[in-house]
Structure 1
Amino acid sequence: MELHNVWFVLIAFLWIGYFFLEGFDFGIGILTRLLARDRAEKRVLINTIGPVWDGNEVWLLTAGASTFAAFPEWYATLFSGFYLPLLVILVCLIIRGVAFEYRVKRPEERWQRNWETAIFWTSLIPAFLWGVAFGNIVRGVKIDSEFEYVGHVWELLNPYALLGGLVTLTLFTFHGAVFAALKTVGDIRGRARQTALRVGLLTAVLALAFLGWTQIDSGDGASLVAMVVTVAALVAALVANQAGREGWSFALSGATIVAAVTMLFLTLFPNVMPSTLNAEWSLTVTNASSSDYTLKIMTWLAVIALPLVMLYQGWTYWVFRKRIGTQHIADPVH
């Protein structure tokens, strides 16, 4: 396999890891408004991701940096053409991180309520916009012969991309609800399972429509297999959730994300950003990649660094594996 193909697979792997981990992270943020009944339960939900949310975002930084180094033409066209939505996502992630840290710095109810509102919106907006962005990447955008995006930002809000945004929003919320059921005890655990069922059923309808549209438009045999796996994993996650098997349900909801994102990358390859103006102007793994020498250096760095990062993050999740409930929430110290 040529190195530019290897790096396409590695970048797909990084995005899959990011959506798997940040998916339930965003879902928990959304559920602070939909699931929690009081401030104590909001603290329980936030504490389930407290030790790991910043580590989850490392996958986004790594995916972006890898795209910049391995496929500079893809990076340049993507970040210039999608500048406004990506800027909104970046601002949300910054505010979200500040909200996690500053929420309990003062005891006033208004102060804490405002930061909790910020956590909700800065989780919901990126969860939606990532689906819109990847919907447009797969569908294709207006790229000219100079590999520059010549469309208008509002053209990114087309029906296919908006449906993709709804899919990621509901899927991440479902993933977060399953994670909440896995990580909590008491009444909130049961309500998390009920929420997962309702959101999961809605997700199944939206995902089937979006993935079916994708398959009809640009799919092949491999993407069809990935689509079947996605739907089967989602249905199995719902069944496991109803049976009270939270561990299996979380693993299967994660498998749903893995299979769905895999399908998108399968339909995309060998393109990295199709042109709707002329197929010959599309960015591909060949014309958008860096030199072989650059890719060789990056490959050696990835072989050394990536396993270490994964081991460290896995250890973090193992250390903070226990369930928590409102009885474990201590009074804040200001």
Structure 2
Amino acid sequence: MYKFKFSAALAAIGLVLSCGETDLSRNFSLELEKGAKKIQQYQSVGVQLKNREGLPLDSVVYFLEGQPVTLTDGKLTMATPILGTKHLQAHVFSEGQKAIIEAEILVLAKETPALYTYEILNSYPHDPKAFTQGLEFFKDTLYESTGRRGASTLRKVDFLTGEVLTDVALDKQFFGEGLTVLNDTVYMLTWQSGTGFMFDAQTLRKLGSFEYGESEEGWGLANDGVQIFKSDGTQRIWTLDPGTLQETGFVETVTDKSVFNKANELEYVDGKLYANVWQKESMMIIDATSGAIEGVVNFGGLKEKVGQHPDLDVFNGVAYHPGRKSFFVTGKNWDTLFEVRIFKRQG
């Protein structure tokens, strides 16, 4: 799997973009306050433009992610609503020439993620042969996507009995991944083929396909009724236009300490993305706008409550039932679907 490595901390960056004379650019660099290796949202950091040759300056204008910003007493306040990697630029004007000097900054969440746990409300049968990748309720019916090449399916399930009501198989070359349902259309990902599919939500008849843009792979999907969210195995969660399936932007998942790159299956509820952590019995609660990881749910012990067999695999799959106001979770090749309540740990 792709593993993200953040190699540029908050140090001076040698990369220089120039407009005009190259020699002018080489005389300048942006340096951040000494010792400031991590900057949290709304914190301030000292920014210094180094002028190595003491060239005369006509003016300097600063931009953060393309938007003009003002330094106060030489400090920049990181009030950006979206966290993650940011690009700070100084547009330097000297004797009729212009140079653009750039530094990369990682803006982290302002608070440590809260710890959550769970309570089992009900247990229901689940197909132990289902290598679960995506779960979502739509009109009280549970939609499930399963993986593995040659065995990937999309299915409608009676969650009370575990009965598969309707299912379709993907072509054998595809490894099925997450799904979401919006406007009577099921959107389903495949893993490494760069292709997703659309199906009619009632009949599961295939409606078409779409190709990924800049996102690395297909992992999880969710929607907020307007746009689609897509995880790809990196620190990024992308937004997609449901009409064109084009990627329109992304957020990066971060804590108050670092970026995190293991968001897998997704569910959207009231402004938050609930994301299974790949290969872990836990789930992140992510602010869908900023990318801040606000909570972590420990599902430890749940796997021991299902039937044990050789093909039993990891915790994966999360769906929210708005009528019951509860979450449903399971795992790959688990024989049980759990209805749970999630709550913050005390103390």
- State the TM-score, normalizing by the size of structure 2: 0.22
Larger Rg: 2
Question: Which protein has the bigger strand share?
Answer: 2
Question: Which protein has the bigger helix share?
Answer: 1
